[in-house]
A = this chain, B = another copy of it.
Amino acid sequence: MLVTEAQGKALLRAAAVTTPSSHELRSLDEVRDCRVDFPVAVKAQVAAGGRGKAGGIQKANSPAELESAFAAIMGMRFGGEAPASVLVESWLDIERELYLAVAIDSRVGGFSVLYSPRGGINIEDGPPPLSYPVGLARNFRAHAFRALLEPVESDAKVRERVISTARRLLEIAQANECTTVEINPLVVSRGGALIAADAKVVLDEAAAFRRAATAATIATARDKAEREIRLCEEANLMLVWLDGEIGLISGGAGMTMAAMDAIDGAGAQPACFLDVSGNPTPAGFGLAFDLLDRAPNVKGILVSMFGGGLHTDRVARTLVELLARRASSKPVTLRLNGTRSDLATTILGEAGHRNHATLEMAVADIVKKVAGARS
């Protein structure tokens, strides 16, 4: 779970990593009351990337410019999200911009430290950053990182400060259970000090049971999430809206993606990733159908479940009941395979529904139905 720059910087400051002096402002009144030395950077606070390129960071040279920047930014949307606040920071006197991050790296089985002597918003266009595979945070070794840095960073003073800061970032990630702590840019000031001008911090949601701050962030995000996503999370379904027209109800993350790809392979597009394996009950399927029936872009629904531990005959009974009292006329295609699927086919058949033998047949069927309904 990505947190805002302001939250991320609070974690940095708690571990004595230098950040610019800043004010987080939520209203025009706060903007008017705030005393700052101009110029300042005015930065949208959203838990989404790409903010800088989207105009979410502006420079203000006067109170009037600050007010208008605040109003402009608060009116923007970033990845669909409205900023809850802006961060107003003293404008930095920049000698050089570095990139420094610690992040979980699956091939390392733990953390890697990433460094580039040329950071900033175009970091992704340059060569990939240097990667120091650390593993467990406690395996960080200054001398090992130094040996890797020497060919990349020629300024010995900067090198030593980068090493200290990297150790600090690992301590932050460990103590707060973050999967990413990225500083881009890490500014070398004219005086030679390193200042974290931005912070991208991702908290490990799985640690919420022992991290009150993570639990609170998840709760806040849930409150802010759109209603459908929240309903699904509460019901233990996993929903991601997509741009297509085929409403997909499936089981398991991997098979749901496989079904999405199969829909694409048949010339259509999925309208969602919707995994009901966490709650394959009348309540779970009921919510899934309700959401897809109401969604205007969904033109038809495909239910595809492969029964492993799941008994597909139970799913069939659930679907028969649900379809009987459903009001929507959007076409539906069913495919239940695996454990007790013969019985499922019988149950569906008796109620007048066809159980398709394979995912591919079911996909072809729903794509045809949706195309037919359109023409």
Contacts and interface: CB of A to CB of B under 8 A. Distances in A.
A211 B14 contact: yes
Contacts of A210: 15-16, 168, 171
Nearest to A10: B212
A176 B176 CA distance: 10
Contact of A16 (B13, B175, B212): B212
A138 interface: yes
Interface string A171-200: 100111000000000000000000000000
A34 interface: no
A211 B175 CA distance: 12
A121 to B, nearest CB: 29
A13 B215 CA distance: 12
Q: Is the interface of A mostly helix, strand, loop or mixed?
A: helix
Interface in A130-181: 138, 168, 171, 174-176
A255 interface: no
Contacts of A209: 16
A13 B168 contact: no
B138 A212 contact: no
A213 interface: yes
A212 B13 contact: yes
18 contacts: A13-B212, A14-B211, A14-B212, A14-B213, A15-B210, A15-B211, A15-B212, A16-B209, A16-B210, A16-B211, A16-B212, A16-B215, A138-B138, A168-B210, A171-B210, A174-B175, A175-B175, A175-B176
Interface of A: 13-16, 138, 168, 171, 174-176, 209-213, 215
Given A15-B211, A16-B212, A138-B138, 15 more contacts: A13-B212, A14-B211, A14-B212, A14-B213, A15-B210, A15-B212, A16-B209, A16-B210, A16-B211, A16-B215, A168-B210, A171-B210, A174-B175, A175-B175, A175-B176
